[in-house]
A and B are shown apart, each in its own frame.
Chain A
Amino acid sequence: MATEPLPLKKTESPGPAGAPEDAVPAAGSPGGPLVRFDKVVKRYGDHVVLDELDFTVDRGEHVTLIGPSGSGKTTILRLLMTLEKVTDGVIWVDGAPLTHVRTPDGSLKPAGEKQLRESRKKIGMVFQQFNLFPNMKVIENITEAPVSVLGQSREEAETRARELLDLVGLSAKVDAHPSQLSGGQQQRVAIARALAMEPEILLLDEVTSALDPELVAGVLELLEDIARNTDITMLCVTHEMNFARDVSEKVLMFDAGRVVESGSPEKIFSNPSHERTREFLNAVL
């Protein structure tokens, strides 16, 4: 499977080699980072989950977020997917504010549900608990959004869904219901469902945590495949350090709502410079 090209469209885009990360207006210019968190704060009541978080992700980059539970990793994905609202700060995606709209005087105000729906189209998410629709067959799970959101014809969407099911190795399960599949198979369908929307950014939220150990490898291989053969930008929260090492170019170590360290997997795993990173890696590796 890995040798064949994936049936995914490669878009012409300026590569990750772009402007320096700290150039302020770069978020809006082509070639700048695809995702930029700009002093993002997330609070639940008094509990601060993210504390003026700044970080960027380049186009096509595969970033792994690691850190102890409760450090805010999943919250970052949920904010990007607009499942949660930022308390303060702005998230920029492709140069546009994700959850805000520009008013005529140039300031930003929170976007309405319609605009949020538009923003979300670029972003796909795979969940820890799969969240397939149990009332639909596998193929319907995959075609629902392409038909009703992207306006694809049913035939078009089904053809593509079959290609994607082939990619994830589940061609035989087209007409099955999710309840008839194993966890690993369900997660593959969920990945196919997310890919069917042709997202620019794919968010992976502990996608192997709910799987039986023997099913983890297959799902990880699939994701490695996707990472290698597409230009989809991936943000991945995981406890699978091997996956972080094999797939991502950048690892961000979180603690208490802040990035304490970031760098290539080689650097983070073999030569962490921060005490918290060392402690965390000692605990999980």
Chain B
Amino acid sequence: MNDGFDWDAVGESLPLLLEGFKVTLLATVLGTVVAAVLGLVVAVAGRAPSRFVTAPVRLVTEFVRSTPLLVQLVGAAALFNTVEPLYIGITVLGVHYAAYTSEVYRAGIDGVPKGQWEACRALSLSPRRTWQAVILPQAVRNVLPALGNYAISMFKETPFLAVITVQEMVFEARKYGAEQFAYTEVFTLAGLIFLVASYPTSLLMRKLEKRLGH
């Protein structure tokens, strides 16, 4: 092990890390899609008139929220050991975050004024059109920045996927570090890549928030 900072290791590991970064990005994007869609379904189902719908939905979201992501990942990987780890990772990330995005949606839906619901009823709109044409477009617009922030959080939690052998960036960094005894260099680099990717995205989100008038 050398004492100084090994710049060669940085140059050498960069392509590997970028290769892993592609997986990181893929997991984040697909995980966000799952979380965004599933969260919405959960939020709407949570408003169903029947307790037979709302009770199980609440139970599952409480379970997901009360257990660590890492435990869910390992558990799911053990349960579905024939499935490609990346798919499990994406699904677990998506489901985990759906438990939170559903709350965001719920708040967004609650934020739509009561008068909007009443106008829908006065016009005899079906429940479907009420949600689709009136409530959700307004609710989603309200929660877009919050959803974006969850996407950034998820991005920073993708390294957990390494535990179930998904070859994302941190998995690659660990492998390289172990082989070349260059942990400092490779993890510094990985950290920088995370920073470079997430900081501009946060700025973008803040801009979006401002534009939507929050």
Contact = CB atoms under 8 A, between A and B. Distances in A.
Interface string B118-150: 110111111101000110011001000000000
A57 B114 CA distance: 29
Contacts, number: 63
A193 B123 contact: yes
Contact of B115 (A124, A129, A148): A129
Contact of B123 (A118, A134, A135, A144): A144
Contact of B116 (A121, A133, A194): A133
Nearest to A122: B124
Interface string A114-153: 0001101101110101011111100000001100110000
Nearest to A83: B118
Q: B-side binding surface: helix, strand, loop or mixed? A: helix
A82 interface: yes
16 contacts: A81-B121, A113-B127, A117-B124, A117-B126, A118-B124, A120-B124, A121-B124, A131-B115, A131-B116, A135-B134, A135-B137, A144-B125, A145-B123, A193-B123, A194-B122, A194-B123
Nearest to A196: B123
Given A136-B133, A145-B125, A194-B123, 20 more contacts: A81-B121, A81-B122, A83-B118, A83-B122, A117-B124, A120-B121, A127-B115, A131-B118, A132-B119, A133-B119, A133-B133, A133-B134, A133-B138, A135-B141, A144-B129, A144-B133, A149-B124, A149-B125, A193-B123, A197-B124
Nearest to A136: B133
B127 to A, nearest CB: 8
A196 to B, nearest CB: 9
Contacts of B126: 117, 148-149
A148 B125 contact: yes
A155 B118 CA distance: 26
A17 to B, nearest CB: 30
Interface in A53-99: 81-83
B143 to A, nearest CB: 14
Contacts of B119: 127, 131-133
A96 to B, nearest CB: 16
Interface residues of A, number: 26
Contacts of B127: 113
Contacts of A197: 123-124
Contacts of A132: 119
Contacts of B118: 81, 83, 125, 127, 131
Nearest to A113: B127
A148 B141 CA distance: 23
A120 B122 contact: yes
A169 to B, nearest CB: 22
A123 B134 CA distance: 20
Contacts of B123: 124, 144-145, 149, 193-194, 197
A179 to B, nearest CB: 11
Contacts of B122: 81, 83, 120, 123-125, 127, 194
Nearest to B115: A131
A134 B138 contact: yes
